[in-house]
């Protein structure tokens, strides 16, 4: 099992310059803007190394997830559908 990063630790590795605030990072975690998703442990969120920020409205979301998937495999059938565009047009 790999060690998990706090939101601040993840932010320091991803954003070398101006960083988003802790409240913004927590909002992203609540809204599901991280892949793989953030896990809440106690009072703080934890992220696995290699986590990426995703914008759910991004048209290139499938490509970003596919690139991230090469680092850590996806285990969710839903994510497979998103990557392969098989869920397109279905709710």
| 3-state secondary structure (DSSP) of residue 57 | coil
Residue 65 forms part of a structural domain: yes
Residue 91 forms part of a structural domain: no
Residue 59 forms part of a structural domain: yes
How many domains does one find in the chain?
1
Residue 90 forms part of a structural domain: no
Residue 25 forms part of a structural domain: yes
Summarised one tens digit per residue, pLDDT across range 12-29 is 999 989 999 999 999 999
Q: What residues have CB less than 8 Å from 62, skipping those under 6 apart?
A: 82, 83, 84, 85
At residue 79, the pLDDT reads 61
Residue 55 forms part of a structural domain: yes
Distances (CA, A) of 49 to 30, 84, 85, 88: 18, 24, 26, 29
Q: Is the pLDDT of residue 61 over 60?
A: yes
pLDDT, average across residues 23-47: 93
Residue 32 forms part of a structural domain: yes
Residue 61 forms part of a structural domain: yes
Show the domain range for 73: 5-84
Categorize the per-residue pLDDT at 74 as very low, low, confident or very high, splitting at 50, 70 and 90: very low
């Amino acid at each position: 099992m790999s060690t998990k990063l706090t939101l601040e630790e993840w932010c320091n590795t991803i954003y070398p310059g101006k960083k988003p605030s802790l409240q913004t990072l927590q909002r992203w975690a609540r809204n599901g803007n991280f892949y793989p998703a953030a896990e809440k442990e106690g009072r703080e969120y934890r992220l696995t190394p290699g986590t990426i920020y995703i914008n759910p409205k991004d048209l290139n979301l499938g490509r970003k997830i596919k690139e991230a998937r090469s680092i850590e495999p996806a285990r969710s059938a839903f994510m497979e559908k998103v990557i392969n565009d098989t869920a397109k047009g279905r709710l």
